[in-house]
Structure 1
Amino acid sequence: MRESLADPLEARLAARLAALRAEQGWSLDTLAERTGISRPTLSRLERGEASPTATMLGRLCTAYGRTLSRLMTEVEEAAPRLIPCAIQPCWTDPESGFRRRILSPPGGGLRGEMLEGTLPAGASVTYDTAPQPGLEHHLWMLEGRLELTVEGETHRLCPGDCLRYRLFGPSHFHCPAGGAPARYVLALCPP
């Protein structure tokens, strides 16, 4: 077990997760029941002693009624109109290697957001439910191949393909083994 997270972004994320739970007035036990994440793991996440996986963040965002991009912007400084590549926040899932770059965070009176996802070959990420029911998604494939299952229906995407959907339930992202990483842009629009 690590003593604490050296990455300032992860330290701010840990503090924000603790603050969100406090704002709801929930105990760790209550949050554990709502997310299916164990109480000890939640405690370590909030103290910055462990990094959350994409699945964990998905469950926490669902419990708090926000998208992952919104949560990430809450731990960043206010985003300017122009967001150079060098300052776009990136997060890597320690479990799957999934990398998420926030290209255009929500904020400044704008509701939509855009991110770049890169999923290594052979890796998968599952989200149990939508962070906000009815959240509109537009996924545009840039490189590699992606098998995306949305509420039980699997779509096989290749470079140039665009999948549009509203998410109400679970989703599963899988990059087939033996090929290039799946790289895509995802635009999110709240209902």
Structure 2
Amino acid sequence: MKQPFEVAEAVDARLAARLAQLRAERGWSLGELAERSGVSRSTLSRAERAEISPTAALLNRLCHVYGRTMSRLLSEVEDEPVPLLRAAEQPVWEDRDSGFVRRSVSPPHPGLRGELVEGRLAPGADIAYDRPPVPGLEQHIWVLAGALDVTVREAAHRLDAGDCLRMRVWGPTRFRCAGDTEARYVLAVVLP
């Protein structure tokens, strides 16, 4: 049985290959992608060679440029879609720098518009996205445990366990663990 770090390294390698493929499909140089995404050429190059594990913010910028959600991008590096995804088989991705853990709960399917994601933020974790991966993306955030501060553009919302926020994302967003315990939430994502 593979160890968790071996699984993470394998996902990072497939993700790196997919990022390089998306850029090649568009015929863009690293410089062109850097201009479009606001990410340095060297960081993009290292991400495409799996020398670094991309952060959530970096993946969000690339998803914006490529017009896909993070879940869709991550599902593209997984196996063929299945209708049932057991808990033990659900892909988990971690942004080690920010303390964010993301579990893709829904079985991936490129033809469907909705998906469920479980998010966990460690105490003090703070993630800011400068733009949505897909403009007009509909999101529902349902907090299961802990407290979460969510800022959509400039509107701040404090969510406690049981609270649910629905939003359509057009600009910057920020997720911050608001307490001294982990914030755990379900994110329902619906493509426009």
TM-score, normalisation: structure 1: 0.94
Structure 2 distance, partners of 1:105, 1:184, is 18
1:169 matched residue in structure 2:
171
* Counterpart pick for 1:64 among 63, 66, 71: 66
Deviation at 1:176, TM superposition (A): 2.5
Structure 2, gaps ≥5 residues long: 1-6
Deviation at 1:6, TM superposition (A): 6.9
Greater Cα offset, 30-39 or 151-160? 30-39
Paired residues of 1:136 and 1:188 also in contact (CA < 8 A): yes
Paired residues of 2:145 and 2:184 also in contact (CA < 8 A): yes
Q: In the comparison of the two structures, how many residue pairs are matched? A: 186
Structure 2 distance, partners of 1:97, 1:42, is 22
Paired residues of 1:52 and 1:94 also in contact (CA < 8 A): no
Runs of 4+ in 1 over 3 A off after TM superposition: none
1:28 matched residue in structure 2:
30
Structure 1 distance, partners of 2:189, 2:8, is 30
Deviation at 1:105, TM superposition (A): 4.3
* Counterpart pick for 1:119 among 117, 121, 134: 121
Structure 1, gaps ≥5 residues long: none
Structure 1 distance, partners of 2:31, 2:100, is 28
SS in 1 for 2:105: strand
Task: Tell me which amino acid in the other structure corresponds to 1:40.
Answer: S
Render the CA deviation track for 1:82-129: whole Å, top value 9, x for unaligned: 100011000000210200000014416322011000011101011111
Paired residues of 1:135 and 1:168 also in contact (CA < 8 A): yes
Render the CA deviation track for 1:37-94: whole Å, top value 9, x for unaligned: 1101110100111110010000000010000000000000023111000110000002
Structure 2 distance, partners of 1:28, 1:109, is 29
SS in 1 for 2:28: coil
* Counterpart pick for 2:91 among 89, 95, 102: 89
* Alignment map for 1:1-191 (pairs within 5 Å): 7-107=9-109, 109-176=111-178, 179-191=180-192
Paired residues of 1:116 and 1:184 also in contact (CA < 8 A): yes
TM-score, normalisation: structure 2: 0.93
Task: Tell me which amino acid in the other structure corresponds to 1:120.
Answer: A
Paired residues of 1:106 and 1:112 also in contact (CA < 8 A): no
Structure 2 distance, partners of 1:12, 1:187, is 25
RMSD: 1.4
Distance of aligned partners of 1:181 and 1:15 in 2 relative to their CA distance in 1, 3 Å threshold: same
Paired residues of 2:139 and 2:169 also in contact (CA < 8 A): yes
Structure 1 distance, partners of 2:70, 2:123, is 23
Structure 1 distance, partners of 2:134, 2:37, is 15
